[in-house]
């Protein structure tokens, strides 16, 4: 079997980008290192591709990065992590924003064919059959992050299992009315994350025997403003939730603002779990599912650099579909459920309008059985999907320590 660029990098003790630059004769690598890399490549029988030769001659050195959103955290975080990898390999970025149907049509029918790029990186962008055919026709490497597409190398997570971690955590704390603030499952610009995370949430509730209540699901569109509005809808209902799972930290942060305005305490009155591990999550003590976005961005960029140097077309390396692990980080926004107290006062006198203040019969202070605030990581057991806590288990840890529940 032919040697790969990863094997050369491992043997030489350098990065994939350094191997790429060394074999292409680009600047930024010491002569001694470049000579060692070339010697190891020769020993292993590895040779750079025609694409790499074109790059070395200066005919092209650009990769296209295509994404449906520019302002959302996930996308900017992926780009921020991928750019240094491309820069080290001597590659420039050509960024395409295809946030609407017309710009997307123009890109796949005109721009992509007109521009001379050596590779394409798709960031959480599902493709139609026609768009996939266009990419295959170019004969250049294509890598994806956030969505797995047959025939392309990819870096993803298991959104179903990750969502199960969040929902199971709330069920294990005794919550029976667990709400979901979700993305739009019908939005063609989104990958399968909203659908898969909803499936994970629903599967946990069904297994717990609490049943599925459509009134406990609201759409937040992956923004803080959307999360705030969704939380307002949930707590305007006669039987509001005692816990919320938001499919992104931004929606969870918006929900926290609404709960504060309604006079509800987190986690004493309502528990909240997010998804992402956004930089603000730690500052707000938000319990969340971490998906290692920066690691995804770095890994997919390394895949594309490796494909360029090895000379693979869009289908080469298709078996390399990397799925990175996720983990639950328990902080200060979740606690053991309080005993049921009947319909919330927030529903008002049947008029559906929210009221400020806690429900009758509640008082400020720590609710009986509340788990002390903590900050711990809970990793899923290999082969298992959820946690296996007794419902009333209480754990106290020092901040930052990982625990086995």
DSSP letter at 110 equals: I
What pLDDT score does 363 carry? 34
Range with the poorest average pLDDT among 7-16, 118-127, 286-295: 7-16
Torsion of CA 213, 216, 217, 220, to 10 degrees: 180
Cis status of the peptide bond prior to 276, with omega within 30 of 0: no
Reported as a pLDDT band with limits 50, 70 and 90, residue 108 is confident
Q: What is the CA radius of gyration of the chain?
A: 24
Residue 258 pLDDT exceeds 50:
yes
Residue 216 pLDDT exceeds 60:
yes
One fold for 59-157+293-324 and 159-292+327-378: yes
Q: Any residues with CB less than 8 A from the CB of 366 and at least 6 apart, and which? A: 268
Q: Is the domain defined by 159-292+327-378 classed in CATH 3.40.50.2300? A: yes
Domain extents in the chain: 1-48, 59-157+293-324, 159-292+327-378
- State the average pLDDT over residues 172-192: 87
Residue 333 pLDDT exceeds 70:
yes
The average confidence (pLDDT) of the chain is 80
Task: Specify the higher pLDDT residue, 26 or 382.
Answer: 26
What pLDDT score does 296 carry? 97
Residue 404 pLDDT exceeds 70:
no
Retrieve residue 205's tokens: 């509730």
DSSP letter at 340 equals: P
Retrieve residue 184's tokens: 């739009």
What pLDDT score does 376 carry? 55
Encode 232-259: b = buried (16+ Cβ within 10 Å), e = exposed: bbbbbbeebbbbbbbbbbbbbbbbbebb
Reported as a pLDDT band with limits 50, 70 and 90, residue 135 is confident
Retrieve residue 224's tokens: 């803080």
DSSP-assigned beta bridge partners for residue 154: 144, 321
Kind plus residue range of the DSSP H or E element containing 290: strand 287-290
Distance from C-alpha of 36 to C-alpha of 42, rounded to nearest angstrom: 10
Distance from C-alpha of 98 to C-alpha of 123, rounded to nearest angstrom: 11
Task: Specify the higher pLDDT residue, 314 or 121.
Answer: 121
State whether residue 62 is helix, strand or coil.
strand
Highest mean pLDDT among 8-17, 59-68, 76-85, 148-157 belongs to: 76-85
The CATH fold of domain 59-157+293-324 = Rossmann fold (3.40.50)
What pLDDT score does 313 carry? 55
What CATH number was assigned to the domain covering residues 1-48? 1.10.260.40
- State the average pLDDT over residues 89-115: 81
Reported as a pLDDT band with limits 50, 70 and 90, residue 338 is confident
For the stretch 116-130, pLDDT in tens is: 788 999 999 988 888
DSSP letter at 142 equals: E
What pLDDT score does 59 carry? 43
What pLDDT score does 370 carry? 37
Residue 149 pLDDT exceeds 70:
yes
What pLDDT score does 233 carry? 97
Task: Specify the higher pLDDT residue, 161 or 318.
Answer: 161
For the stretch 232-244, pLDDT in tens is: 999 999 999 999 9
Residue 41 pLDDT exceeds 90:
no
Residue 36 pLDDT exceeds 50:
yes
Residue 346 pLDDT exceeds 70:
no
pTM score > 0.75 for this model?
no
What pLDDT score does 44 carry? 80
State whether residue 207 is helix, strand or coil.
helix
What pLDDT score does 364 carry? 34
């Amino acid at each position: 079997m032919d040697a790969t660029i990863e094997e050369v990098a491992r043997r030489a003790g350098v990065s994939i980008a350094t191997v790429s630059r060394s074999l292409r004769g680009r600047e930024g690598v010491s002569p001694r290192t470049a000579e060692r890399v070339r010697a190891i490549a020769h020993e292993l029988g590895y040779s750079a591709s025609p694409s790499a030769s074109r790059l070395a001659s200066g005919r092209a050195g650009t990769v296209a990065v295509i994404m449906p959103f520019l302002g959302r955290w996930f996308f900017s975080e992926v780009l921020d992590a991928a750019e240094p990898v491309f820069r080290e390999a001597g590659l420039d970025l050509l960024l395409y924003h295809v946030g609407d149907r017309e710009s997307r049509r123009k890109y796949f029918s005109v721009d992509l064919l007109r521009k001379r790029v050596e590779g394409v990186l798709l960031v959480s962008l599902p493709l139609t059959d026609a768009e996939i055919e266009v990419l295959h026709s170019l004969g250049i490497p294509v890598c994806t992050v956030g969505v797995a597409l047959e025939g392309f190398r990819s870096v993803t997570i298991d959104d179903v299992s990750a969502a199960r971690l969040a929902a199971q955590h709330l069920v294990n704390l005794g919550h029976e009315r667990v709400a979901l603030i979700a993305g739009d499952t019908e939005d063609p610009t989104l990958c399968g994350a909203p659908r898969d995370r909803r499936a994970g949430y629903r599967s946990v509730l069904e297994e717990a025997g609490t049943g599925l209540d459509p009134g406990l699901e609201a759409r937040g569109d992956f923004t803080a403003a959307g999360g705030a509005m969704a939380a307002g809808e949930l707590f305007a209902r006669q039987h509001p939730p005692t816990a919320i799972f938001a499919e992104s930290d931004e929606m969870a942060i918006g929900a926290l603002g609404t709960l504060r305005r309604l006079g509800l305490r987190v986690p004493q009155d309502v528990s909240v779990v997010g998804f992402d591990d956004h930089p603000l999550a730690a500052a707000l003590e938000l319990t969340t599912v971490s998906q290692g976005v920066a690691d995804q961005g770095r890994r997919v960029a390394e895949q594309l650099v490796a494909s360029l140097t090895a000379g693979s077309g869009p289908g080469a390396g298709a078996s390399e579909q990397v799925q990175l692990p996720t983990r639950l980080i328990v902080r200060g926004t979740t606690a053991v459920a309080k005993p049921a107290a009947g319909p919330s006062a927030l529903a008002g006198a049947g008029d559906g309008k929210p009221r400020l203040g806690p429900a009758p019969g509640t008082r400020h202070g720590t609710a009986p059985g509340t788990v002390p605030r903590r900050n711990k990581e809970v990793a899923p057991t290999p082969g298992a999907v959820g946690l296996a806590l007794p419902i009333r288990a209480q754990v106290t840890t020092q901040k930052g320590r990982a625990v086995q529940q």
